[in-house]
Amino acid sequence: MQPSKRTIVLFQFHAHFEHCKPRIRLLRTLNPGLPIFGLYGGEGGLIERARELERLGLEDVYQARSTASNRSRWKDTDLGVVDWYSHVGRSVPFDRVHVIQWDLLFFAPLVSTYPALPDAAVALTGLIPLAEVAPFWDWIAAPGLGVDSEALFVLARQRFGYAGRPYACIGPGYSLSRDFIERYSALDIGEVGHDELRLPLFAQVLGIELVDTGFYPRWRDPEIEKVFNADSCEIEPAQVRNELARTRGRRVFHPCRERFDSTVIDDLTLVSLATRAVESGA
């Protein structure tokens, strides 16, 4: 199936302005002509610094609504996207938005990194039946978080008649269709639960197809965790270099934070471009 004709990027960040600059340049270099919008969820007093990133090619930097705590800034990314859509995205011509966090690095064009997606689909990373991860996943197993998650399922059952088999995912790199965002925004869910549960749950409620991005194909696999995880275990630049030097190696990595400054990113970009030239026979 052909991907949507009008795809955009929503680049999500909270701070780390200097680190964001080479990442935006990399996205621009690899995806010429692809509109990139900014979703800023950091301190309100720094919004002008955040908007300086528009000079690097962001179409616009929108400041997400205030949330109750720093925790909400990362657990409620989906609500930030809905807020952005209500104030900015509704007037933007697009069919699909790739939500790319500042510490998620792609070293290949997005069109070749994401799988081909059905037009209305919600693409999530590490999509898995919740029952398979519930015994160890904090959002279910940890007492306080588990109560919050159960409240989400109670809401889904009582308000929307949900009776399906729930799924879990991890946050980095999900891709949402305009159709889903439009219909999801009308539900007015609030902050109960977590986007890694809300997104697959309400895609099911709305009857929208779920697809895996393929970025995290197996949970708790040590080899995958070295190059892609949703924990605080930052990826080693050497691991990224090894993958980029391999033809048909991995081209998407998370989390890539302080170790990946502009010098490191520029160096890794050269490695990736050289490998892609070999792959194409140039």
Residue 197 pLDDT grade (very low, low, confident, very high; cuts 50, 70, 90): very high
pLDDT digit string, tens, across residues 36-79: 999 999 988 999 999 999 999 999 999 998 554 444 456 799 99
pLDDT, the chain, mean: 93
Longest dimension (CA), the chain: 58
Q: Is the pLDDT of residue 282 over 80?
A: no
Kindly list the structural domains of the chain, giving each domain's residue range(s) and its CATH number in brackets, ordered by start: 7-280 (3.90.550)
Q: Is the pLDDT of residue 4 over 80?
A: no
The answer to whether 11 touches 77, Cβ cutoff 8 Å, is: no
The answer to whether 63 touches 47, Cβ cutoff 8 Å, is: yes
- Residue among 60, 62, 59, 36 nearest 47 (CA): 62
Identity of the amino acid at 249: G
What is the average pLDDT across 202-228? 98
Task: Name the CA radius of gyration of the chain, rounded.
Answer: 18
CA pair distance 62, 37, nearest whole angstrom:
8
Q: Is the pLDDT of residue 3 over 80?
A: no
pLDDT at 23 (0 to 100): 98
DSSP-assigned letters across all residues of 216-255: S-STT-HHHHTTB-SSS-PPPHHHHHHHHTSTT---EEB-
Q: Is the pLDDT of residue 1 over 50?
A: no
